[in-house]
Structure 1
Amino acid sequence: MVNIRSLDPSASPLDYYGSELRRLREDSGLSQADLGAIVFCTGSLVGQIETARKVPSREFSERIDAALMTGGFFTRLVGLVLRSQLPSWFQEYAEMEAKAAYISTYQCQLVYGLLQTPEYARAVLSIDYSADRLDEMVAARAERQRILERTQPPVLWVVLDEAVLHREIGGREVMRAQLEHLRAFASEPWVKVQVLPFEVGEHAGVAGSFTVLRFDKDPDIFYSESYDSGHMTANPQVIRERFVGYSRLQATAYSVEESAELIARVMEERYGHGAVA
């Protein structure tokens, strides 16, 4: 059955995407099944996206642009659609993160979102999202990571608590791939990863994970979050204190080179094929 649900294009980026897809498809004289055949999917999927019941992927958008000759319209729009799937309390931070010139973050529980593999992200997100939402949320996280693929990406400096390396998320194979992914950034000039070892004891990050964003022209921002909310501030005193704290974390952590060696060692000893479960 053809989906004919009416949409308010102004309701959300997803509704706008769906209404424009329907309009341009109909202008081309194509049925949902016709367009689906052209872009290698079912007509039902086209209908679900047109009625905002399904979130489009970047690959789908690229194929739609080619099929309808829209000059990259949907490929540009899908980024906004995917970001809109992020939790409402997190969206403002994601927008600021995408504009930052420098990102400095300390993470005590998990690998920072920009450096997560799809499998690791899926395991993390499965805690809070049902199976029918997981693909969308993983795609939204991958879209967020695209800022690292820019010609001039932000400088990203990550300090990870050593516990992050040992906390098994998604199983041994997922963790092995995640640590290999982290280790690969050792040769990336714009991304630096340091590990804060267990033996440090008390340190400037004991209160929890936090991030400081720096911009070329706008004030710096400090960000931290709780279970279901985020907190951002540009208070100069808070920024000053957190920068001092972050500098202390960097000084206490292993060097980038030592950290890469530790990551490789944990990867083999804890998650290697010969490791004892």
Structure 2
Amino acid sequence: MGKADRLDPDNNPWHWLAVDLRIWRLERNLSQAQLAEILGVDDSTVSNYESGTSKVPERKAEILDQLWRTRGHFARIHRHAETVHDPNWFDQYTRYEQRAEAISAYSALVIHALFQTEDYARALIEGAQVVDNVEETVAARMERRQVWEAAHAPEFRLFVRQSVLEDPVGGPEVMRAQLGHLLDLSQRKGVVVRALPKAKAAHAGVDGSFAILRIGQAEHAWSPAVNGGRLVSDPTKVRAYRLRWDLIGDDALSRDSTRSLLRELMEAMK
């Protein structure tokens, strides 16, 4: 069974858009290569659209409506998909995470999952009291860290609030080890960690955590939420996330100052 055959268009509007794209293309006897040329993308991108692996951008949906005279059909589905809760949001995000060539993330409440130690992750998951199998959830989170071991690990830029670094999640010993792990990762090639100081209480990240992932020439933005989350692929909307990211960077400490802060906090937790 192919990926396109596993889609659930009745319950997932992004799958609905993918299925309709494939149906309309086949009805017009167009190959994926021919449609790719019309949309200005490569063949694999159309394949990813139709399998639900990648989301059809808003501008491409509008082009489809113009091309096939569908009176806004694809654009309407796209608008609907952007506004409703996506039941598969986390699975989709982690697939993007594993493929990303570069990740820019801002952590407002906890240290980003890819930087977490096992003990820190366990303390968070146990404290939240929302999952039945803590160890299974911890293992799944640790598995995500395999991106660091890949032959081509992503470039990673992390902004994190200072208060996140000071919260003694799991107790001083667990938190000290977590800060040490973060310090070690910050010294890896291609990894940048910068703290947003407490003195900067009003800033562009007050609305919460988010990440921007680059895969090839495309960028996707992700923001978490309670019992849900949102993935955004439309270039115009992603640019808004990128602007917010840049503004946070304007207020963040330098890399060296952040490392000094990490060492100071580790010393204070002895």
Match of 2:145 in 1: 145
Match of 1:242 in 2: 241
Q: Pairwise mapping of residues 224-235 of structure 1 onto structure 2 (< 5 A)?
A: 224-235=223-234
Please give the alpha-carbon distance, in whole angstroms, between the structure 2 residues aligned to 1:105 and 1:133: 27
SS in 2 for 1:224: strand
SS in 2 for 1:249: helix
Please give the alpha-carbon distance, in whole angstroms, between the structure 1 residues aligned to 2:104 and 2:169: 23
Whether the 8 Å contact between 2:161 and 2:195 is mirrored in structure 1 is yes
SS in 2 for 1:194: strand
Match of 1:128 in 2: 129
| TM-score (ref. length: structure 2) | 0.65
Overall identity of the aligned pairs, in %: 33
1:251 Cα offset (Å): 2.2
Whether the 8 Å contact between 1:180 and 1:267 is mirrored in structure 2 is yes
1:191 Cα offset (Å): 1.5
Please give the alpha-carbon distance, in whole angstroms, between the structure 1 residues aligned to 2:232 and 2:186: 31
Residue 192 in structure 1 maps to residue 199 in structure 2: no
Match of 1:119 in 2: 119
Amino acid at match of 2:104: S
Q: Deviations over 1:20-65 (max 9, x none)?
A: xxxxxxxxxxxxxxxxxxxxxxxxxxxxxxxxxxxxxxxxxxxxxx
1:88 Cα offset (Å): 5.0
Please give the alpha-carbon distance, in whole angstroms, between the structure 2 residues aligned to 1:178 and 1:88: 30
Residue 159 in structure 1 maps to residue 151 in structure 2: no
Q: Deviations over 1:199-236 (max 9, x none)?
A: 1121110111111111114x211110111101011122
1:156 Cα offset (Å): 0.9
Please give the alpha-carbon distance, in whole angstroms, between the structure 2 residues aligned to 1:184 and 1:266: 15
Q: Deviations over 1:102-135 (max 9, x none)?
A: 10000110000000000000011112355x6122
Q: Deviations over 1:49-94 (max 9, x none)?
A: xxxxxxxxxxxxxxxxxxxxxxxxxxxxxxxxxxxxxx95411100
SS in 2 for 1:222: strand
Please give the alpha-carbon distance, in whole angstroms, between the structure 2 residues aligned to 1:242 and 1:114: 20
SS in 1 for 2:199: helix
Residue 101 in structure 1 maps to residue 81 in structure 2: no
Whether the 8 Å contact between 2:89 and 2:231 is mirrored in structure 1 is no
Match of 2:222 in 1: 223
The aligned length equals 184
Please give the alpha-carbon distance, in whole angstroms, between the structure 1 residues aligned to 2:97 and 2:185: 19
Amino acid at match of 1:198: K
Please give the alpha-carbon distance, in whole angstroms, between the structure 1 residues aligned to 2:216 and 2:235: 16
Please give the alpha-carbon distance, in whole angstroms, between the structure 2 residues aligned to 1:90 and 1:235: 18
Whether the 8 Å contact between 2:105 and 2:210 is mirrored in structure 1 is yes
Please give the alpha-carbon distance, in whole angstroms, between the structure 2 residues aligned to 1:128 and 1:147: 27
- Runs of 4+ in structure 1 over 4 Å off: none
Match of 1:92 in 2: 92
Please give the alpha-carbon distance, in whole angstroms, between the structure 2 residues aligned to 1:118 and 1:201: 30
Amino acid at match of 2:141: R
- Whose RCO is larger (CA < 8 A, sep 6+)? 2
Whether the 8 Å contact between 1:186 and 1:257 is mirrored in structure 2 is no
1:139 Cα offset (Å): 1.0
| TM-score (ref. length: structure 1) | 0.63
Which stretch shifts more, 136-145 or 121-130?
Answer: 121-130
Match of 1:257 in 2: 256
Whether the 8 Å contact between 1:106 and 1:210 is mirrored in structure 2 is yes
Please give the alpha-carbon distance, in whole angstroms, between the structure 2 residues aligned to 1:163 and 1:124: 15
SS in 1 for 2:133: helix
SS in 2 for 1:198: coil
1:137 Cα offset (Å): 1.1
